Amino acid sequence: MKKRFISFGGVIFEGCSATSISVYRDAAALQLEDGKILSSHIIIDAMGNFSPIVRQIRKGKKPDGVCLVVGCCSRGFKDNYTGDVIYSSSSVRKVGGSKVQYFWEAFPAGSGPMDRTTYMFTYVNPQPGSPKLEQLLEDYWDLMPEYQGVSLDNLKILRVIYGIFPTYRESPLPAAFNRILQFGDASGIQSPVSFGGFGSLTRHLGRLANGIYEAIRGDFLDAYSLSLLNPYMPNLSASWLFQRAMSAQQNSNVSPEFINELLHVNFLCMQRLGDPILRPFLQDVIQFGPLTKTLGLVILTKPQIIPSIFKQVGIPVLLEWSGHFFMLGCYTFLSTFVDPALRPLLNSFPAKIKYEWKRHLEAWKYGSGLDYKL
């Protein structure tokens, strides 16, 4: 990929830290740590979750949720043919002063037939006293052998992995400055439930590459025009409820088994409804029809869980979620019925209007998950 980029005339400055950006009427100038200045029509901020530009835009706001992940890739797994997307074997437990619900993920690694990656992760509401990665790692070494049916003595640890994934309800992040656009994790386009930012980045790559190309070609590089590339997506906002439902609440009186029970009934219902419902969900794509069917079946299968859902997530979050759910229905309608009627007219619009309407049509499509093909 690097060779291909260079063969097209791309230049890579490795080990360089960007220190400041000045935006002018006709260009943006990026200052590097060593004093070099690079000027450009547009700057794509792909500096990840901890991008200093994002910190500036979000004004240092505390994340609404955090996913903490620890794990390792090890050699020595004899039974290494299957993977777990999400697995839970215990109820809510105390770590330090906080309650946490652990989840697991495991899959064969490409480095060798007996190499396997296993992660343990949990969702927390960031606050003083939240568990530390170090505490999670201690638990990981205790619990992973039981989860995988192995002994640590028979494993060669190839590498230890850990991560902190902050998530914000206000995502994706609209462009705040002319000529600067967030991309990848920096844009907040990843699901707040999985830490599948790379998957989401590839899902949106085609859309964003075309959009950025058109923005540069038409000189639509003001903050508003760039914001249309990171638009409101009701399916992403609706995912928020799932993170809340899967994080152990510190002062709630729901049963410590609630999260497992909820996941169990949800996955059972999705499995009964079949691949068109289950697969998009497992790939982080929330769609109106599958979500409605799953919720309906969950209510019919286990109505007694509903009061606990209210207690777990709280009425304000549920009300906010209902708004996103309604918008998900609207976006599905717009993308299915209004898009085909509007699309043939786009070429007759002036360039700027055409650029804007193309972005609206994309927002309807991606925001309702209709870009997903089974």
Ligand X SMILES: Cc1cc2nc3c(=O)[nH]c(=O)nc-3n(C[C@H](O)[C@H](O)[C@H](O)COP(=O)(O)OP(=O)(O)OC[C@H]3O[C@@H](n4cnc5c(N)ncnc54)[C@H](O)[C@@H]3O)c2cc1C
Q: Return residues touching ligand X (CB under 6 A).
A: 17-18, 46-48, 52, 69, 161, 163, 184-186, 190, 195-199, 201
One-letter amino acid of 34: D
Burial of residue 22 (number of CB atoms within 10 Å: 0-12, 13-18, 19+) = exposed
Q: Toward ligand X, which CB reaches closer, 205 or 353? A: 205
Q: How far is CA 203 from CA 80, 133, 161, 369, 373, in A?
A: 28, 30, 24, 11, 11
d(CA 247, CA 242): 9
Q: Toward ligand X, which CB reaches closer, 18 or 317? A: 18
Q: Closest approach of Cβ 296 to ligand X, in Å?
A: 30
- Residue with structure tokens 């972005």? 359
Q: Closest approach of Cβ 198 to ligand X, in Å?
A: 3
The dihedral region occupied by 184, where left means phi > 0, alpha psi between -120 and 50, and beta the remainder, is: left
SS3 1: coil
Q: Closest approach of Cβ 311 to ligand X, in Å?
A: 31
DSSP state at residue 143: H
Q: Toward ligand X, which CB reaches closer, 191 or 332? A: 191
Q: Residue 142 contacts by C-beta under 8 Å, 6 or more apart in sequence? A: none
Q: Toward ligand X, which CB reaches closer, 185 or 362? A: 185
DSSP state at residue 330: H
Q: Toward ligand X, which CB reaches closer, 144 or 361? A: 144
Q: How far is CA 112 from CA 78, 81, 99, 152, in A?
A: 11, 12, 37, 18
Q: Closest approach of Cβ 297 to ligand X, in Å?
A: 28
Residue nearest to ligand X (CB): 197
Q: Closest approach of Cβ 135 to ligand X, in Å?
A: 17
Q: Which H or E element spans position 75?
A: strand 65-75
Instruction: Count other C-beta atoms under 10 Å from residue 258's C-beta.
Output: 21
Q: Toward ligand X, which CB reaches closer, 99 or 204? A: 204
Q: Toward ligand X, which CB reaches closer, 47 or 259? A: 47
46 and 173 Cβ atoms separated by less than 8 Å: no
In 3D, which of 147, 237, 157, 260 has the Cα closest to residue 191? 237
d(CA 329, CA 370): 12
Structural tokens at position 85:
């997307």
Q: Closest approach of Cβ 185 to ligand X, in Å?
A: 4
DSSP state at residue 224: H
Q: Toward ligand X, which CB reaches closer, 195 or 288? A: 195
Q: Closest approach of Cβ 196 to ligand X, in Å?
A: 4
In 3D, which of 188, 159, 177 has the Cα closest to residue 61? 188
Q: Closest approach of Cβ 2 to ligand X, in Å?
A: 13
Q: Closest approach of Cβ 326 to ligand X, in Å?
A: 29
Q: Closest approach of Cβ 81 to ligand X, in Å?
A: 18
Q: Which residues pair with 73 in a beta bridge?
A: 117, 159
Q: Toward ligand X, which CB reaches closer, 182 or 308? A: 182
- Residue with structure tokens 């697991």? 104
Q: Toward ligand X, which CB reaches closer, 52 or 289? A: 52
